[in-house]
Amino acid sequence: MDYAERLQNVSVLGAAGKMGSGILLLTAIEMADLSLKPENKGKHYVLNAMDVSGEALPGLMRYLKAQVLKAAEKKIVFLREAYAQRKDLITNEQIINQYIEDVLFMVRPTTLLEATYQSHIIFEAIKEDPELKAKIFRQINENSTVTPWFCTNTSSIPIGELDKKAGLDGRLLGVHFYNPPAVQKLVEIIKADHTQPDLVEFANTFAKNLRKIVVPSADFAGFIGNGHFMRDALHGIHEAEALSEKYPFTQAVCMIDKITRDFLIRPMGIFQLIDYVGIDVCSYIMSVMNPYLKDEDLHSSLLHKMIDLGVKGGQNADGSQKDGFLKYEKGRPVAIFDVNKKEYEPVSSLQHACDVELGDAPSSWKPWKALVGDRDKDAFLKGYFAEMKSMDNLGSKLAVKYARRSKEIGLKLVEDKVAFSNEDVNTVLLTGFFHAYGPINEYV
C-alpha cells in the first residue's frame, strides 16, 4: 500500500482539541491535494474527525472551513491548475469555494470510535494518559477491518511501551506536532525499537509534504521538546521559589518571568509559557516523565498547589489564554497570582520594585522580534552575553545562570542519547519554541 492509498481513509482522534484540530486541518488539506491529482481521480477519500465531545464538533467544522479558506487563498496558483479541467470553475472565488467544499465533504465528524475501524492511519491527539491511549489503540486494532498504523501526538509517553501495552507490533510512531500544529514548523518523530520502518518513512513523507521541519528523537519519556522545556521550567520555578524567601512571591514570579523574557530575549517569560501550555498539563507531563528519570526529581509542589487552587492556565476554546500564574487581558499579562493570598496582584504595582531589584539588561539589548529578524544574530548574541557576564546586577547574574542551566539541559539530552545531536536540540527550541537562539551555544 503506497502513501496515497494509505491516506484514502484516515481518522484523527481528539479532533476537536487544540492539537487534534490542527492535525485534522493539515491532514485534510494533504488528502484533498492528493485527491486532486489526475492519477487519483475518482478515488474516495475519508477523514474521520472523531471526538468524544459531540458539542465541540460543529465548532471544529467552522474552524476547519475558516482555515481551509485561508489556505486556499494562499495556494490559488496551485488550485487553478488543479481544477483546470473543471470548465464550470472560472474565477478564483469559484475555485476556492469548490476546494473548501471538496475538503469539507471528505471530513466526517463523529463521536463514535467505530468510525475509525476502516482507517489505514490513525492520528491520535487525545488526553496525555498512557492507559487511555493504550486502551483506545487496542480497541481500534482489535476491531479494525484493516491493519492500521497509529501516529500518536504524545509529547512525553514512551512509544515502545505504549505499543506493547496496546499490542500494536511496531505499528505505533510518535509524531509530535507543536502547538498550534497549523503554524508551528516543528514535528518530532519518535521511533521505538520495533517501529516498522515503512511507518517511519510514511511519517517523514507526510511531514515533508506538510512542509514541516522534522527532528528525530529517541524514544525516551519527554523526548527532546519536553525533555528540555520541563527542566527549564522547573529551573524557573525553583529560582522563583528561592527569590520568594527574600521577596514577595508575586514579585519573585515577576522577576523570573522578566529574566526569561527580556534578559534572555525569548518570545515569552517562562511562567507565561507554563500558562500557555497549561499548569495542569506541565505537571502531568512531569509525572509521566519522572518515573523514567534517574538521579533527578522532575516534580513541582508549586504546580500542584496551583492546580489544587483551581488555577490551571491553558487555553479557552477560542484560543484565548486562561489565567494561570499570570492574569491576561487581550493576551497580555496584567497581574500575577499570589499563591498565599489566593488573589492576583497587578503587574503595575510590582513592576517598579522588580526592575529596581534586577537592574538593567545589557545596553545592547533588543527585543525578541528584532533579534529573530537580525541577519547577524550570532555576532550580536556574542556581544550581548559578553556584556551580560560582565555585569554585576541581580538580573544579569540570574540570566547567565539560567542560560547556562538551559545549555546544560540541552547537552544532557545529547549525552543521554535522547537527541542525536546538539543541532537537533537547538532546532527543537528554535522551531518548536520560537527561541531566537539555541540553548547549546558558546555565548555562556
Partner 1 sequence: MIAGYNTISMGTGRKEFHPKKPRPDLEDYIKEAGQAVLKMIGGAEKVDETVFGNFIASRFNQQGHIAGFAPYIDEGLRYKPSVRVEGACGSGALALTTAMRSILAETAEVALVVGVEVQNSVKAVYGADILAAAGWAKERKTGHAYFFPGKFSDRAKAYAEKFGPEKPRDAMARWYENAIENARLCPTAQEYHNTTKDLIACGIQKPNPKGFVDSLNFFDCSKVSDGASAIAVVSEEGLKRCGIDKKDAVEILGFGQAEEDITKPPAEPTRLSTTKVAVQKAFESAGITKEQVGTVECHDCFTIAGIMATEAIGFAEYGKGADFVLEGHTSRKGSVPFNTTGGLIGWGHPTGATGVHQAVTLWEQLTGKAAGAQIDIQPEKPYGLSINMGGDDISVISIVYKKAE
Under the rule (CB under 8 A), what is the footprint of partner 1? 73-74, 76-80, 87, 89-93, 96
**Rounded to the nearest 10 degrees, what angle do helices 249-258 and 225-243 cross at?**
140
Backbone φ/ψ region at 359: left (φ over 0), alpha (ψ -120 to 50), beta: left
d(CA 306, CA 253): 13
Backbone angles phi, psi at 187, to 5 degrees: -130, 125
* 46 strand-pairing partners: 9
- Name the residue among 120, 177, 175 with its Cα closest to residue 149: 120
Give the CB-side neighbour count of residue 414, counting CA atoms within 13 A.
16
- Name the residue among 180, 52, 205 with its Cα closest to residue 126: 52
Task: Tell the smallest beta-carbon distance from residue 75 to partner 1 (Å).
Answer: 8
How many CB atoms are closer than 10 A to CB 413?
A: 27
- Name the residue among 66, 51, 68, 31 with its Cα closest to residue 109: 51
For partner 1, give the closer residue by CB, 89 or 391: 89
**Identity (one letter) of the amino acid at 55?**
E
* Cβ partners under 8 Å of residue 426, min gap 6: 410, 437, 438, 439, 440, 441
* 188 strand-pairing partners: 176, 215
- Name the residue among 345, 183, 314 with its Cα closest to residue 251: 345
Task: Tell the smallest beta-carbon distance from residue 49 to partner 1 (Å).
Answer: 27
How many CB atoms are closer than 10 A to CB 288?
A: 22
Task: Tell the smallest beta-carbon distance from residue 91 to partner 1 (Å).
Answer: 4
Place of cell 552575553: 385
d(CA 101, CA 114): 25
CA distances from 351 to 233, 253, 294, 321, 341 (A): 22, 11, 39, 21, 19
d(CA 442, CA 385): 10
Task: Tell the smallest beta-carbon distance from residue 86 to partner 1 (Å).
Answer: 9
